Amino acid sequence: MPTLPSLTVTDTQLAKCVAAFGDAAGYKAWLKQAVRDEVMRRESRRLDEEANTTKRAALAAVEASLPPADPGA
């Protein structure tokens, strides 16, 4: 199974980063969840943009099928 790229840090940086999460397993669990959350956030945005594009096109088609607005009303 392929792996994602990782960071290269000094021993001191490693100790501080791991300590923030309790231990290496805590860090790894947080990292997995953070990556999943970000992928879901980006996919949600992509789907929203795709839906908005479809919606704009559909609304433009409806508008084009309507009689023009009465500018004097």
Q: Using one digit for the tens of pLDDT, what is the confidence trace for 4-33?
A: 898 899 999 999 999 999 999 999 999 999
Q: Does residue 24 fall inside a structural domain?
A: no
Q: Which domain holds residue 44?
A: 33-64
pLDDT value of position 73: 64
pLDDT value of position 26: 95
Q: Does residue 60 fall inside a structural domain?
A: yes
Number of domain units in the chain? 1
Backbone phi, then psi, for 2, in 5-degree steps? -70, 160
Q: Does residue 54 fall inside a structural domain?
A: yes
